[in-house]
Structures are given as C-alpha cells and as structure tokens.
Amino acid sequence: MEIKLINVNKEYQLGETKVQALRNINFTVSATDFITIAGPSGSGKTTLLNMLGCIDTPTQGSVTFDGVASSTLDLVAQAALRNTKIGIIFQAFNLMPVLDVYENIELPTLIGKKPQKSKDTREWIMHLIEAVGLSDRIHHRPDQLSGGQRQRVAIARALVNRPQLVLADEPTANLDSNTSFRILELVKNLNRTENTAFVFSTHDEDIIKQCDTVIKMRDGAIVENSGGVVAPVNRAPVNVKVFDHA
Amino acid sequence: MNTTAMAFKNLKRNRSRNLMQGALIFFAAFMISYFAQFLAGITKNFTSNLVELATGDVYLSSTINADTEQNSFDRDYEYLRIPADFIADIKANPEVKAVNPRLEFPVRLSLPNDTLAFLMSAFDVKEERRLRENFQIIEGRMLADDGFEIIVPVDMARQQNIRIGDQISVLAGTVDHKANLLQLKVVGTFKTYSLSTWLNNYIYTSLTTARVLVDDAAAVTRLNIHLQEKADPEMFATSLANPIKEKLLANNPPLDATSWKKGAAFFTSLIFGIEAGFFIIIGMICTILSCAIGFSIMMGVVERKKEIATLGALGASPKMIRKMFMTESILLSDIAAFSGIVLAAILFYFTLQSGVPINNPELEGFLGASHFYPALDIAGFIVPFIICKVVSANVSFLIANHASKRPIAAVMVEN
C-alpha cells in the first residue's frame, strides 16, 4: 500500500475570506509506516488526515492510493476504499448512539457486507473489545460510557476491518496511561503483523516516541518531516521544535 | 448492514418526532380509507336507490322533450298503453329480473277547505317490495293492493289537516283525455328512507286503483325493467327499439327505452362531483402529508448529519445511507398507515351496523336518505396504505439522497 500526497493544497471559503488549510503538502505513507502529525491547533492536521482518509479532496494537487488518484474515484468507490483500506478514529468519537459497544465496532464489517455471523469476525471483534478493555461494557450504548470508554470503542471500530491505513485524530487524548499503553501495544502489533500503517495527530509524547516519522505542521504547511524531505514552502521561517524520539 | 434493525432502533430513539410523523400518516391513512367507504356508500346507495325505487335499470316512457325536460326526476310523462303480452315477452328474457309498471299523473284533491293540485304515483304494492319498504309509515298502515286507498306524505297531512280514515275526492285526467273522480280513503302517512326529495312529492295509491282512476287497465307512464347483474342496460335498451316500433308505436305517443344513467344526468354529475371532491381532498391530504413528512425527515437529517457523515467515513455508500433513511421512513409509514386503516375498518364496521342518521332536511334531501350507510370498498383500504408508503419513500429518498452526497469533511467541520 502506498499513499502519495503530491503538491496538495486545500482552500476553504469562510464567508468572504479564503482560508488556506493546506499548503503544498508532499509526502508518502507506505505500509508499516508509523507516523505522527504534530502541530498547534489550526495548523491543518485534521485537514491532512481527511485528505489521507479520502473524506476530503484537495483544491490543488492530488492524493493517490496505490497509484490511483482519489479524485478520479466515484462516491461508491471512495466509500468502498474507506471501508476496506482505511480506519478512522475521530476526535469526537462519532459513535452511533443507538448501537451498543459490540454493534458499533461491528458496524464497518456490516457496511462492508462481510458475513455478519462469521466466527472469525466475531472472535476478532471480541478480541478488539478485550484489547481496549471494554469486555464488561459490551452491551452498553455510548451514552452509558465515559469519554475514555467511547474513545476506546472508536479505536476498536477503526481496526475491525483490518485496514491498511489507520488515521487517528488525538486517539489517546482521553485515555489513562495504562489503557493508552495497551492500545499502543495493540496498534504496534498490528503495524508489525498486518503491515498496517498508522498516522496519528497527537500531542502524546508516548505515541510520538514510538513513531518512526514525525511530521510537524504549522499554518497548513509541513515544516519538518523527520522521515523525509520537507517540501519547500514560500513563507517566513517559523520556530521548529525538534522531537526527540528513539 | 441490517438496516431494518437499525431503523427500529432509530425510530425508538427519536420517539417524539417519529410519533408526530406517525400520527400524521395514521391520520391521513384513516381519513382516506374511512371516507373511501363513505364515497362507496354514497355511490352504492344512490345507484341502488335510483334503480330500485325510481327508474329500474331500463325504463320505457314517452320520449323526453329535450327543450323543456332535464331528466327522469324533472319531466312530464304521458300515458302509455302497454299490452300484457308485451310485458310478458320482456319478462321472458333471461336478462330480465322484474318488470314494474308505474303510473304518475297530476290530480286534484278536494279537501274540506281547499282544492289541491298534487302528483299521484301508483305502483304494484304486492310486487314492488323494495319500494313498499322504503316508506316509513308514521301513522296508519301501508296500502292494500286492491282497496281504493291512498297514503300521503306526513308533512302534507299536517299542513292540510288530513287524518287517517278521511275520504278524499280525487280528480284525474283519463287516458282518453276525459276527467274521472274517485273517493279514496287515506290509510297512512309516511316518510321515505331514500330519495325523499323526489318521493315525498307524491301521494301514493295502488296500481289497480290508479288504473281505475285513469280509466285504462293497461295504462302506465313508466315501465321499469330490472335486469340481472351482468346485463348491460345500454345494450338492453337498444335491443328494445324494434319491439317498441313494431308493437307499441301505433297506439302510443312517441316512446323509447332509456337506461337509468341516461335519464339521471343530474345524479351521475352529482356522483362525479362528489368523487372529484373526494380526490381533491385526497390530493390535499397527500400534499400536507408530503410537506409534514418532508419537514420531519429534514429535521431528522439535520439532527443526524454527523451520523450520516460518520457512516460515510466508515465506508457506507450514498445508496446505503439513503436505504437506511428510507427504511426508517417506510417502516414508520407502514406501521402508522396500517394502524390508521385498522381503525378505519373498525369504525366502518360499526357505522355499517348503525348507519348515520341524517337529521338535517337539506342534507337528507341532498343524499336522498334519512340514514346513510357506507359500503365496503377494499381498494379504499389498500390505496391509502400505498399512498402513504409512496409519499414517505419519495420524500425520504429526496432528502436522504441530498444528505448522503454532502462532503463528509464539510459536515464534520459544521459539527
């Protein structure tokens, strides 16, 4: 799997003001990558994740999935791509309020029309529930869970279809260190065994330390890419913090 | 994705909004199906009353004067002489159920203080059971077949101070254009159950007595022919043209056979008007229903746009999202419409048992009956169910289609 962002720019129109959310972004995500996107609020982290997740399209430039530009895919093909190859963990969890923990995690498999009663699928869902520490909350609905528990459901849901790429917006923000550790173990294991690439936007030093690549963003541009070359940006220099990771 | 199970859960979650939407569908289905039974009742009652009590399926009478006369209710009939063998021939036709001669003619009644011009109608009291039973005898009794008797409308009896047992002198023109006078005994006062605006304009006597009064044993003004159910009145009327020409025209004024519909333009246009009104009401109900369902679904979409975007982000195609909303909408529509139709069916059953008493004289005159009975119309139960389903499906499709195609990222940002 290879995702390439080539000269990606994204502009939003806010009333009469144009907002440049992404500026000339170039980088590649390959299988087994473990990438962190860091940057202050409004720096374009979420927009970049949306581009990678195929839920937003660039104003200029292209995003290609295994050589196919996402803009050339129709809505159905894009949906299928998101369902089978990408797992997304939203900052606000975005769980289905009418479904319980098990059903929320199961949802992407049902959307993808995988055999619902498959023993493997059930075992995998149960494994994920156990891994995120929600075995005793399996039939609870989101409104009966704490913020941290909801986030764990969202994480398990993103992993259920064994995607090639998992995108996460602040995935461990609401978790205690013990659960964060367990989840990191789980995703690291998936990263190694299933060749799943992970791209996080986070401030969590523990995650940052375990990532192969750290991409630092500011004002919509990549100002540092510890795993590759930073694309030239025609703008005033900004202070860059160099992340210390093993 | 098991959209039905999810739809049930969503319906339960958004209980108050769905209850409102369901109540609207319930009301619409109930109204349409219940009033469809009423419309069927109006049509059936009118048709049945008109054919059974007034004209038969086909009637023989003097030719209508198109310049001065409108229809079978509003015209003058001339005396006809119809021989018994002609009637026997008609009766022998397998398409014919019954043949009923009627005599309707103007008379003068000599009352103690006044002389009154009125219309007299005569029928075969023994043979015409349906007409006999249509009279609600208020005082006294029904006519005997062979007595020199009359029954009079109760309102007329009150106005003219006519009492049971009174002997009234009745003067009438005979078939041979002479005058004849008979003393007839008042044996009853009546109201009519059906077609009262028309039937209440007559005093009634037996056919035997009327024929004595007009001095002709074969006299009729209208020969009502009742056909078997499958027979076509138009065809039958046409088939009588030759026998009329051969056997009757020589001894009679111009006459012809007319199907009941031709002679009841007023009635058929009235039914058409009622049906048109009914469909306009259905149209209005559907429009209001569409707007209400649309508004309700739109509210649901606005409330759940984050959910729609999430489903999209998880890989649900626009078609799948549409299906989810449509399933919810159709499920709600089916449950509500079915409940409305069941209530309409129950109410229809009870209305059928008791009838709807009509106390307003104008309405009674308009409907031609003192009690109104709806009639079973199966389509009237099925069509509202389909209407509600189609309206719900289409409105939810349009709104969900729009919602499912909105850019996911933009919706996420809005939230």
| Burial classification of residue B321, based on how many CB atoms lie within 10 Å of its CB (0-12 exposed, 13-18 middle, 19 or more buried) | buried
Q: Is residue B165 pLDDT above 80, yes or no?
A: yes
pLDDT (0 to 100) of residue A67: 87
Output the CA torsion sign for B387, B388, B390, B394: positive
- pLDDT tens for B135-164 read 889 999 999 988 899 999 999 999 999 999
Cβ within 8 Å, pair B316-A83? yes
Decide: B248 and B61 in contact? Cβ < 8 Å. Answer: no
Q: Which of A122-126, B5-9, B252-256 has the lowest mean pLDDT?
A: B5-9
Q: Is residue B354 pLDDT above 60, yes or no?
A: yes
Q: Which of A98-107, B12-21, B30-39, B305-314 has the lowest mean pLDDT?
A: B12-21
Asked if B1 has any chain A CB less than 8 Å from its own CB, the reply is: yes
In this complex, the residue of A56, A98, A110 whose CB is nearest that of residue B1 is: A110
Output the CA torsion sign for B413, A47, A72, A85: negative
pLDDT (0 to 100) of residue A246: 33
Decide: A197 and A31 in contact? Cβ < 8 Å. Answer: yes
Q: Is residue A232 pLDDT above 80, yes or no?
A: no
Q: Is residue A240 pLDDT above 70, yes or no?
A: no
For residue A80, the chain B residue with the least C-alpha distance is B315
Map tokens 């958004």 to a residue. Answer: B14
Q: Is residue B311 pLDDT above 70, yes or no?
A: yes
Tokens standing for residue A148 = 């941290």
Q: Which of A41-55, A139-153, A193-207, B331-345 has the lowest mean pLDDT?
A: A193-207
Q: Is residue A234 pLDDT above 50, yes or no?
A: no
Q: Which of B180-189, B295-304, B350-359 has the lowest mean pLDDT?
A: B295-304
pLDDT, greater one: B316 or A177? B316
Asked if B409 has any chain A CB less than 8 Å from its own CB, the reply is: yes
Residue B293's nearest CA partner among B324, B338, B325, B322 is B325
pLDDT (0 to 100) of residue B94: 94
Q: Is residue A237 pLDDT above 50, yes or no?
A: no
Phi, psi of A220 (to 5 degrees): 85, 0
- pLDDT tens for A162-204 read 899 999 888 877 777 777 777 777 778 778 877 889 998 887 7
For residue B410, the chain A residue with the least C-alpha distance is A56
In this complex, the residue of B10, B309, B315 whose CB is nearest that of residue A111 is: B315
Q: Once rounded to an integer, what is the mean pLDDT over residues B59-69?
A: 81
Q: Is residue B112 pLDDT above 50, yes or no?
A: yes
Q: Is residue A114 pLDDT above 70, yes or no?
A: no
Residue A108's nearest CA partner among A89, A135, A127, A130 is A89
- Best A52, A107, A113 member to test B by mutation, with max B CBs in 10 Å, is A107
Q: Once rounded to an integer, what is the mean pLDDT over residues A25-37?
A: 88
- Best A94, A109, A155 member to test B by mutation, with max B CBs in 10 Å, is A94
- Best B314, B321, B324, B413 member to test A by mutation, with max A CBs in 10 Å, is B314
Q: Is residue A245 pLDDT above 60, yes or no?
A: no
Q: Is residue A161 pLDDT above 80, yes or no?
A: yes
Confidence of residue B366 (pLDDT cuts 50, 70, 90): low
Q: Is residue B130 pLDDT above 90, yes or no?
A: no
Q: Is residue B325 pLDDT above 50, yes or no?
A: yes
Q: Which of A127-131, B262-266, B270-274, B279-283 has the highest mean pLDDT?
A: A127-131
Q: Is residue B284 pLDDT above 80, yes or no?
A: yes
pLDDT (0 to 100) of residue B71: 66
pLDDT (0 to 100) of residue B368: 57
- Write out the E strands in B26-113: 58-62, 80-81, 96-111
CA-atom Rg of chain B in angstroms: 31
- Best A55, A114, A116 member to test B by mutation, with max B CBs in 10 Å, is A55
pLDDT (0 to 100) of residue B17: 79
Decide: B224 and B56 in contact? Cβ < 8 Å. Answer: yes
CA torsion angle for B318, B320, B321, B326 (degrees, to 10)? 120
Q: Which residues of A touch B414 (CB under 8 A)?
A: none
Q: Once rounded to an integer, what is the mean pLDDT over residues B218-244?
A: 92
The residues pairing with A225 across neighbouring beta strands, listed in sequence order, are A215
Mean pLDDT of chain B: 86
Tokens standing for residue B297 = 């679904």
Q: 3-class DSSP state for residue B53?
A: helix
CA-atom Rg of chain A in angstroms: 18
The alpha-carbon gap from B12 to the nearest alpha carbon of chain A, in Å, equals 9
Q: Once rounded to an integer, what is the mean pLDDT over residues A145-173?
A: 87
The alpha-carbon gap from A55 to the nearest alpha carbon of chain B, in Å, equals 6
For residue B415, the chain A residue with the least C-alpha distance is A92
Q: Could you say which residues from 299 to 358 on chain B have a Cβ atom under 8 Å away from some Cβ of chain A?
A: 306-307, 309-320
In this complex, the residue of A56, A98, A107 whose CB is nearest that of residue B314 is: A107
- pLDDT tens for A58-67 read 999 999 998 8
pLDDT (0 to 100) of residue A229: 43
pLDDT (0 to 100) of residue A151: 84
Q: Is residue A242 pLDDT above 60, yes or no?
A: no
How many percent of chain B have pLDDT more than 90?
Answer: 37
Query: Strand B114-123 vs strand B96-111: parallel, antiparallel, or unpaired?
Result: antiparallel
pLDDT, greater one: B372 or A218? A218
Cβ within 8 Å, pair B319-A99? no
Phi, psi of B189 (to 5 degrees): -115, 150
Q: Is residue B264 pLDDT above 70, yes or no?
A: yes
Q: Which residues of A touch B313 (CB under 8 A)?
A: 53, 55, 82, 88, 90, 94
Other CB atoms within 10 A of residue B68 CB: 9
Rounded CA separation B115/A132 (Å): 106
Contacts (Cβ under 8 Å, ≥6 apart) of B308? B301, B321, B403, B404, B406, B411
Map tokens 């005997």 to a residue. Answer: B144
DSSP-H helix ranges across B120-259: 129-134, 154-160, 196-199, 207-214, 233-239, 241-247
pLDDT (0 to 100) of residue A196: 85
* Predicted TM-score (pTM) of this structure: 0.66
Decide: B258 and B224 in contact? Cβ < 8 Å. Answer: no
pLDDT (0 to 100) of residue B415: 57
Q: Once rounded to an integer, what is the mean pLDDT over residues B7-26?
A: 82
For residue A105, the chain B residue with the least C-alpha distance is B314
